[in-house]
Every structure is written in C-alpha cells, then in structure tokens.
Chain A
Amino acid sequence: MCLAIPAKVVELFPGERSRALVEVTGVRRHIDIGLLEDDPPLAGDWVLVHVGFAMSKISEEQALDQLNTLIMLGENEAALQEVQGYGLGEPSLGET
C-alpha cells in the first residue's frame, strides 16, 4: 500500500478522462489518473502510482531511479504483484 510504483503511460482513452493504460516492467494494467486532473499525463509520460492511482508525474530518469530503489529495497516483486492485482476481474490485457 505504501509502495510508490513508477509506471509509463501507454494509452489514454477518449471520453474517459480518468483511465489510463500503463506499463510497469512489461506488465500492463489500467490505473486511475483522476487525481492528476489539473495536469493530466500524456501517453509516454511517467507517473508514480499508489494503490492504482497516479499521484504525481515524474521524469523518465526519476522513474528508473524509483524502480532501482524498489529493487534495492527488495520490494520490486511486491510492487509487480500489486500492479498485477489492479483491475480485479478486468479482461486480461496480455503480458509481455
């Protein structure tokens, strides 16, 4: 719950302002970007995600730093498990 997970925005959906498809180390899931409504991310941007919600926009460099921090903290697997858990019951998006 307290993990901040860096994710890359892959796809936005016209008419659905609060949903985005993101990718975290190859796993794609939908997250909510409603808390960034004042400065919404674009496809290709990086965000920090808490409990399925993007909380802040970050640079790619910061995202890689944060990923590295998660690995050093031994939390990268927990982070991936969390991301895989987003979208309970959603149709599978196919993982690469």
Chain B
Amino acid sequence: MGKTLAEKIIAAHAEETSEVSAGDLVTVKTDVVMANDVTAAIAIESFRAMGVGEVFSSERIMLVPSHFTPNKDIKSAEQARTLTLFTEEQALSHRFQVGRSGIEHVVLPERGLVLPGDLVVGGDSHTCTYGAVGAFATGMGSTDIAFAMATGKTWLKVPETMKFVYHGERQPWVYGKDLILRTIGEITVDGALYRSMEFTGPVIAQLPMSERLTMTNMVIEAGGKCGFMPFDETTKTYVDARANRPYTPYFADEDATYVSVHEFDVTGMEPQVACPYSPDNVHPISQIKPEKIDQVFIGSCTNGRFEDFAIVADILQKTGREFDPNVRVMIIPGSQAVYLNILREGWIELFTIAGAAVSTSTCGPCLGGHMGILAGEEACVSTSNRNFRGRMGHRDARVFLANPAVATASAIMGRLAHPDEL
C-alpha cells in the first residue's frame, strides 16, 4: 500500500513502529521545537512545572521573539525577557534577538534550520509553513511545546491526506497566494480539519520557494494539520544553499491513499481576495466592490519575503506612481535578512519616497499587536493570512487579504484595485 508524505515522515520518526497509516496514534521524535514570544512564555512556565531541568537538545529548540517585538510595552518586554533568560540558561545554540532575526516562519526556512524530512512542532499555528521545504511541521499550544522541549517527543494522530492538483496557465498578477486563497474559498475554513494537504501539479512545479511558503503557510486557514510541497530541483537548490546538517527528502507514493483529490485549472483565474471576516470568504477581485481603504499592510509570514517586496518595487518603478496620500502603507519585511536585501536593492528608499512607513521586522499589525492597529470604521488590504473580527485591531475593522500586487495597486489607488488598473 502506498504512503503519503505525512505517513512516511511520521513513520520515520515513530518510536515503536516503522510503518504507520492515517488514523494511527503514535509517539514521535521531534527534530525541531519552536515557540515565539507569546507561546514560549507559557511553554517555559509549563516546562518548569513539569520539573525537568534541561531541554532535550540545546541545538534543536528555537525561541523566536516576533509578535510584540521590538517590545511594544512593559508586559511584552517582560514576556520577551523570559525567552532571553531561558535561552541563556539552557545555552540554546540558536539565538534570535531583535535586529538579527524576524518572524519565525520566515527566519527558520531562510537559515536552513528546518529541512526536508524533519518533524517539527511549533508553538504557532503557522508552523505548517515548513511543509514547503518538505518537513512535517505542525502547530501546537504551549504545554505541548513544553512537553516536546522536555522530552524531544510528542504524540500525534497520523492525518488523512487531501491532494490538490493545479493545472493550466497562470495569468499575470496571480501568485501562490491566489492559489491558496482560492483553495480555502472552495474547501472552507474547516475543509482540511485534522488533515494533511499535499500540493502538486505543473503549476506548483513552476512556483518559486517564496510562493510555496505562502501556500503552506495558509494550510491552517483550512484547518489543516500540515501541508506539503513536492521536493524537486527548486527545493534542493533552496535547501542546499542553507542546510548545515544532512536531510532526507521524501516523496509521496503514486498509489498513496488520499481522502479526496481536488483539481484546479488556473487558466483565466484572477487575483483572489478574502473579504471580512473569514479567510474562506474568497472572491475574484473583479467581483468585489472597489471600496475605499485606510491602510495597506505588506509583510507577515505569508508574504514578507524578498520576492514579495520585489513585486511592490517593480510596480512602483514601472508606473512611477506613489501611494495614495490618504492611505497608511505599512511595509514590514519578514526578517532582518529580507530587510537588508531590500535595503541593498534601494527599495527602502523607493518605498519611503512613495509614502510608505517601512519598519524593522515584526508580526506587528498582522495580529493587531502594534505598528498599524485599525480603528472601527477602517478598511485594510493586507498580505497576511487572517481577517477574523478584531484580528488587526477594532472588532468592526474590515480586512481584505490579498497578494502583494493587489495590495500595492490598492495602496496607489486608495481603494481595492487590480494591478491592471494602474
């Protein structure tokens, strides 16, 4: 019987068995355990309560301050300090300090800290992002993370897998973001609940790593446990330039068992937008009222990579336009490495002249933390992944999720806009 990627990677990490199938409950070894400033604070408390002195490995635990950092207030500062102290106390070899890191889901793949075939658990729901490099990666809460920090293990139910196949020709201005929004729109926010999502097909084969990361990032928005991109030359080139330890790529078997197969023909597909207040309220941009907006946020672990800002820079350079003076445009690189690269390209100057506020890396407005909170009457186009009520500020604020090109066009026009309108 053929196996899915989730079954193969879980089997390779399982304690008492060498073969698993969907539905099995297994204890597995973890390769990487991650938490951020919000989740690590509780994880460290739970770790202490478990009475364990030392973490299972000082090399495989990554505590990344990202949400309320640079510390936005005293409480956040106290919280972030628990990470710094714990990192020192346990002599963790990977340090992620403000100014030198960024959002965990941008930083970990970028530094080759999560690799193909790894089993990763993270105290953040978007840990599923690492499936783009071929890792089994899933989000958990703080106490589960504490258990993994203490033992290097966790328990899992082997998920069933849904397969998503994309064919056809992508139109200009259509990216991985649009494919995943369209997919979530179709299967809804609990369409992949407890399941693994395998993405494949000729359209995926052509996607660069940045867009693959965008897609696996949003697996959780369909309720998914994990997601996978196939390992190919694109993955190999990306990973080999970064990895400092050996890795094992896995491939799904031809005869693996899938609970469902979803085929998409992307030919003629427009940029997609998720309207308030759910990531599955997705419509093609031409079918949405071009409403006036107050803010645009370009960044986050979904679209905060170099290639995302290249799209923004390209539009500004080609059109010679500036952002609408009535719109607050927040441009926030997903990591300090991205920041430095866009600085070197001259884009920070370009964005600033066009009227954007460019900041150091942080999750910031994505979760309504800081750096661009919305008022009740306001509307925002955001390249992030969630538009729940209250997510970016006031409960009545309206957030439209889109790709970086739509966000840029909207920032220029002062309303939801298709890049072709420029």
- Say whether A associates with B: no
- By a beta-carbon cutoff of 8 Å, the part of chain B in contact with chain A is none
